Amino acid sequence: MSIIRWKKKYQDGTPLTLLTAYDATMARLIEMSNIDGILVGDSLRHTFYGDSTTVKMTLEEMVYHTKAVCNGVQHTLVIADMPFMTYNISIEETLKNATQLIQAGAMAVKCEVRSSHLPTIERLIQEGIPVMGHIGLQPQYVHESGGYTLKGAQANEKQQLTQLANQLSEIGVFGIVLEKVPISLSKTITDQIQCPTIGIGAGPHCSGQVLVTNDVLGLTPNFSPKFLKTYLDASTLITNALNAFKDDVESKQFPTMDHGYVNE
């Protein structure tokens, strides 16, 4: 899916779907499912590397995983996260960093945006690099916020987020992720701006939804936040399959003669 088709689907009023991938195999499965977009998210620091924070994500790692994902798809829109502090230092540095992700195969980048970033985001868009904004809960700033808490519940936060969303829409982002904000706020923002909102923990009124694929498939044991709907208990299914393999080998039921090659 191109950015143009993404916008067309939004204009038609059909909710957009976005899932994460970090390798070619999962990306290929997502494309086979006709999901609208793949986010190469810095969430891979949790799911792939086992870290407690996304702050450790580097640009080199993101380029690596973006290449892998792009090798697995032909048509799906691929969006790459810009890691912490890769779009904060200067506009020139940001352009160089975003270019690496685009050259790795991404069609767009996503940034956890603050008001101070607006000139940089606008410059990226002017240079032909599509940008998705991310506001509300911003995992890259978890040390500052003190945790993964709801954002926009207070009047001043609500006003700030609404203003920031409008500013992002005005400068031309093709979408805005709203993470862990009150349902009423996500509706207000969605109704006001001229680009799609993509919710995660933001309720049913957004223009689309994004989730971490590992969470959707039940690959993250003992993880069940309120916003998550799990569609498969893959953790149990995979464990059972691996145990069955072990049992077959130990009981000498695998391999059999049928699984080998006879020199005829």
Catalytic residue selected from 144, 157, 179, 250 = 179
Q: How many CB atoms lie within 10 A of CB 136?
A: 26
Whether 170 is a known active-site residue: answer no
Q: Which residues does residue 177 pair with via DSSP β-bridges, in sequence order? A: 134, 198
Angle between helices 155-171 and 183-192 (to 10 degrees): 30
Q: What is the DSSP letter of 260?
A: S
* Rounded CA separation 152/103 (Å): 36
Among 31, 133, 39, 153, CA closest to 87: 133
- The helices-and-strands tally (H runs, E runs) of the chain is 11, 8
**Residue found by looking up tokens 């916003």 in the block:** 227
Active-site residues, by number, are 179
